[in-house]
Structure 1
Amino acid sequence: MLRRIFVRFVPTTLLLLLVGLLTLPVLAVALSWLQFNGEARAILLEMLQTVLPDYTWTSLWLCLLVGAGVAAVGMATASAVTLFEFPGRRVFEWALLLPLAMPAYVMAYAYTDFLQYGGPLQSWLRASFGLQGRLLPEVRSLGGAVLVFTVALYPYVYLLARTALSERAVHLMEAARLLGAPLSRRIRAVALPLARPAVAAGVALALMETLADFGVSSYFGIQTFTAGIYKAWLSMDNRMAAAQLATVLLIVVALLLRMEHSAQKRMRFAAGRGARAGAADAAPVQLRGGRAALAWLVCAAPIALGFVLPVLFMLRPLVLGWENLLWDQFFNWTMNSLWLAGLSAVLATALALSLAFAVRSQPHALNRWAAHLASLGYAVPGAVIVVGLLLPVGWLQAAAPQSGAGYWVTATVLGVVWAYLVRFSAVALQSIQSGYSRIPVSFDDSARMLGITGAGLLARVHWPLLKRSVAVAGLLVFVDVMKELPATLVLRPFNSDTLAVVTYQLARDERLGEAALPALVLVLVGLLPVVLLSRTLRAR
């Protein structure tokens, strides 16, 4: 009896402790309101009169415009490659994923360098045509941020909408055509309703990324909640103000997460065998002439704006500043990035595998709740995680000055790796749970009948079937950590700059020629999951 209780609940207790460490930042931000006293009330009232309206309206307009942009671009491109046949469609199917490899802050640096008043485009126009003054709108503005986020994040909508349309839309549109419906009505009455939940889920994901961004908003000088959190903590040294702003941001993200989950539930419909067979037999609508050119332009424009042009814009300062590149320091930055990304990928994958195996082998409520809590971390912005980690450190330092908690969290890799695990363990968990969903439960029953249980079940039955999913999980976490900026900027150890941090710092100092090399390396690293994802989509 005691052995059964030990085997059943002790591993669960250990997992709950680990999950508790992952959810501590969110809990700390929420618990900070227990310290809401007269001073905190004065700070909140001051922010309501000064910066909070700007943060609210700027973030609201940014979300509205980016949401409309990614919905329009993602739905248009997904419809083009799924419902129609035109020259280049096969290439566009995977090429439309390329902006996923481009960090938004790198794109912001590239466009600013090329399009600003002293950039090559406006300088050439003034020299060639004798024009004076500013010839293009200011890039560092809300409109520029909307453009950057739209072309960087539309693949979220594209992927989900394409999956929804490819399952049944072609078959149903063929049936509508046989009933005499014109093309415009087939798109309006069949394709759009089928893709609406997918578009809503993709927009929610894109908006969570927009709100979590720090690099673009800081570089463009946009007063968003994330930029305000860092300003309150680092510039004003006001932890309570940062905690209050982090709470507001966390509530908004929770609402978006709820929206995404609701949309995902509406997407969970299954086509029968007859419908899938019909979809295979029904061919996309063949486009010719002007319609084919329009479809080609719809697909080519976001690829050019979201990947091709930023890469070309970054290559120009790289070539011009080749002699000034900091090769010795670049090697150190690369090694620091690889070390932190590799360590975080191993730890996050091991934690995710443990959670997924616990849910699989003992699917009781505690394990399921533990996995659910761990999967929420990806929706938490890096700024909230930073505040949520540093707040309890400050409390512990005040209660026990000799504990050295501040040193271990801010002067070693512990703090930044902890933040990475909070942020990206969900990515690994989702990949491994997807792998488990393809392993029949009957395999476990057969293994238990042969006397294989516990760790032996994981090692001898699950692991050979999960190797690919575990490798994908590690790769995704590795790439995400390489590109992570907000948490790394604050929590990295001394003299341990990463490629993302130095790219931001050099670009902020207008040294884009030196920032181009680490920025392009981040783009190359970001291509790895894009290639993997495109191969997966082609295999379906």
Structure 2
Amino acid sequence: MSDVTHSPLVGKAKWNGLKMAAILIAVILAVPILVVLVNVLMGDGEVWQHLYHTVLAEYISNSLLLMLGVGVGVLVIGVPCAWLTSMCDFPGRGLLSWTLLLPMAVPAYIIAYTYTGVLDFAGPVQTFIRDVTGWRYGDYWFFEIRSLGGAMVMLTLVLYPYVYLMSRAAFLEQSENTLEVSRTLGYSGRKVFFKLALPLARPAIVTGLTLALMETLADYGTVQYFSVNTFTTGILRTFYGFGDVAAASQLAGVLLLFVTMLILLERYSRHRIRYHSSGLKKASQRRMVLKGGRGVLACVFCLLPILIGFIIPVSILAYWAAFKAEMPGANFVQLAWNSFYLAALASLIVVSLALVLSYAIRLNASRSVRASVGIAGLGYALPGTIIAIGTIVPLAWLDHRIIELVRHYTGENIGLMFSGTLVALLFAYTVRFMAVSLGAVQNGLGKIKPSMDMAGRSLGLSPFKVLSRIHIPLLKGSVLTALLIVFVDVLKELPATLVLRPFNFNTLAVRAFELASDERLIDAAPASLMIVLVGLVPVILLSRSISSRSTSAHLGRSK
């Protein structure tokens, strides 16, 4: 018996229970999306007509331009850096290959606050220029950081690692023999890159680009702070300003269409394209040595994104937090505690449900279970604003039905039990980040041989005992990775938290956003720095994983 899926040892009743649990989880997690789609068709359309005739065109054009600018930026940085660190040898390559991931730890809205404090008219850079030259406002040109172009730059600096990671993995998997044959045909290094390596890596590059663009559409803090009107700012403005859920849902529906088109584009790019590994030596076994000026240029090119996207902003935050910001008091401790325990609760819930879903598909990968797991993972492709609106509407409806029922029988008002509490936030986080956890857990389960399941079942263990006693101990690394990634993602999440947080409940992300919105950039530094430092944990683990795989491969070749 090669697969535990068809094993008669798996009890039918217990399997049906697990199957029903997987389907139920998927249905519950799909509610926010269904609510948004239903609300698109509701409402009198008055507010929507107003939006259509006034700002909708601006939302669409700004969102498209932002995607275009960020798309070009992440490709220009991510792909060449991936090629240089995987296929070439130059001074500092080993260190740069993993430090290029560090900007992933800095949320876009935090890097936006930091550079605004430095490059704005009242910042030290422009003040220095005026002091030295004697110029006044209007006498000189300087890049306007609070603009659509500024938002493009800020988002590019923190999102290029998506393309870098995917591209580097694809380049490392390419066969040396294939590239050597191209050289014998007279291809220069440049032609090898553009005519062979780049087309072969295209599916991976498009996947990374799609992820970066979905994060661009989901961003709220950066575009709101820079006063760039996009769908995310429009949705929250409509929701709060007009109080019209239907109109906000209609805007969310248009944004959902954008996200769907990105997903379809990514899948179409891989349509009927199959690139198989030849099993021969990998290209990285024989890197092109870059000496002299070429080596220095390669080093500088790879160093600049790290310098601008991580070292400079984190250094500025650390300086502000240590020497200029107000000393953190009891309020900061409360904010940190709120953020940490909320992120811890969310990560435990998400990973626990991911274990159930992943184990269900391992026991029987039927169409219904596979569809359920796919539906459960849809949330990551959606911005937090869409999920927040899709969450608050059904929970508010449920709250009011419960209030009416209790008041009818007891005469008491029990208040909001779901929509006005942390339940709404935790549910939204679960919908948003389930896909991240599913990927890590499924990857870990795939490495455990089916014979382990068979051995446990032959000893009389139930499916759940096999999971708890055999799989989970073997999945410690994958589960820890999933917990850490979800923890940090929740810590950084801004739009969903802004919409769904209970009254008088703040987190580090929300506080940093509020202070920055009030132009108290220096006072926002401690909260921002805390978020960045915590975000470093999964990035460092990912970097160490990449480095260890690279080292293992090198040792394996040298034996």
Q: TM-score surpassing 0.5?
A: yes
1:500 to 505, 509, 528: 509
Does the CA-based 8 Å contact 1:396-1:405 persist in structure 2?
no
Matched residues in 2 for 1:244 and 1:105: separation?
26
Query: How much has 1:412 moved relative to structure 2?
Result: 1.4
Query: How much has 1:179 moved relative to structure 2?
Result: 3.5
Query: How much has 1:313 moved relative to structure 2?
Result: 2.6
1:48-447 matched pairs, under 5 angstroms = 48-133=52-137, 135-168=141-174, 170-263=176-269, 269-273=275-279, 275=280, 277=281, 279=283, 282-322=285-325, 324-396=326-398, 402=404, 407-447=416-456
**Secondary structure of residue in 2 paired with 1:408:** coil
1:15 to 16, 19, 22: 22
Deviates more, 1:470-479 or 1:459-468: 459-468
TM-score w.r.t. the length of structure 2 is 0.91
**Secondary structure of residue in 1 paired with 2:18:** helix
Does the CA-based 8 Å contact 1:92-1:300 persist in structure 2?
yes
**Secondary structure of residue in 1 paired with 2:475:** helix
Q: Deviations 1:114-137 (Å, cap 9, x if unpaired)? A: 000000000011101222225412
Matched residues in 1 for 2:273 and 2:543: separation?
21
Query: How much has 1:255 moved relative to structure 2?
Result: 1.6
Higher relative contact order (CA 8 A, sep 6+): 2
Aligned residues: 532
When the two chains are superposed, the root-mean-square deviation of aligned CA atoms in Å is 2.1
Kindly provide the amino acid, as one letter, of the partner of residue 487 in structure 1: A
Look up the match of 1:35: 42
Query: How much has 1:456 moved relative to structure 2?
Result: 2.1
Query: How much has 1:318 moved relative to structure 2?
Result: 2.4
Matched residues in 1 for 2:469 and 2:243: separation?
53
Identity of aligned residues (%): 40
Matched residues in 1 for 2:547 and 2:269: separation?
25
Query: How much has 1:406 moved relative to structure 2?
Result: 7.6
Query: How much has 1:155 moved relative to structure 2?
Result: 0.3
Does the CA-based 8 Å contact 2:200-2:275 persist in structure 1?
no
Kindly provide the amino acid, as one letter, of the partner of residue 154 in structure 1: Y
Does the CA-based 8 Å contact 1:382-1:486 persist in structure 2?
yes
Q: Deviations 1:300-326 (Å, cap 9, x if unpaired)? A: 11111111111123234324424x234
Kindly provide the amino acid, as one letter, of the partner of residue 249 in structure 2: A
Query: How much has 1:261 moved relative to structure 2?
Result: 3.9
Consecutive unaligned residues in structure 1, runs of 5 or more: none
TM-score w.r.t. the length of structure 1 is 0.94
Consecutive unaligned residues in structure 2, runs of 5 or more: 1-7, 406-412, 550-559
Query: How much has 1:463 moved relative to structure 2?
Result: 1.9
Query: How much has 1:338 moved relative to structure 2?
Result: 0.6
Give the 3 Å change call, closer, same or farther, for CA 278–233 of structure 1 in structure 2: closer
Kindly provide the amino acid, as one letter, of the partner of residue 530 in structure 1: V
Does the CA-based 8 Å contact 2:395-2:424 persist in structure 1?
no
Matched residues in 2 for 1:445 and 1:397: separation?
46
Kindly provide the amino acid, as one letter, of the partner of residue 442 in structure 2: Q
Does the CA-based 8 Å contact 1:359-1:367 persist in structure 2?
yes
Query: How much has 1:495 moved relative to structure 2?
Result: 2.4
Query: How much has 1:510 moved relative to structure 2?
Result: 0.9
Kindly provide the amino acid, as one letter, of the partner of residue 532 in structure 1: L
Kindly provide the amino acid, as one letter, of the partner of residue 413 in structure 1: L
Matched residues in 2 for 1:366 and 1:121: separation?
59
Query: How much has 1:487 moved relative to structure 2?
Result: 0.8
Deviates more, 1:284-293 or 1:10-19: 10-19
Deviates more, 1:434-443 or 1:111-120: 434-443
Matched residues in 2 for 1:214 and 1:68: separation?
20
Query: How much has 1:198 moved relative to structure 2?
Result: 1.4
Query: How much has 1:206 moved relative to structure 2?
Result: 0.4
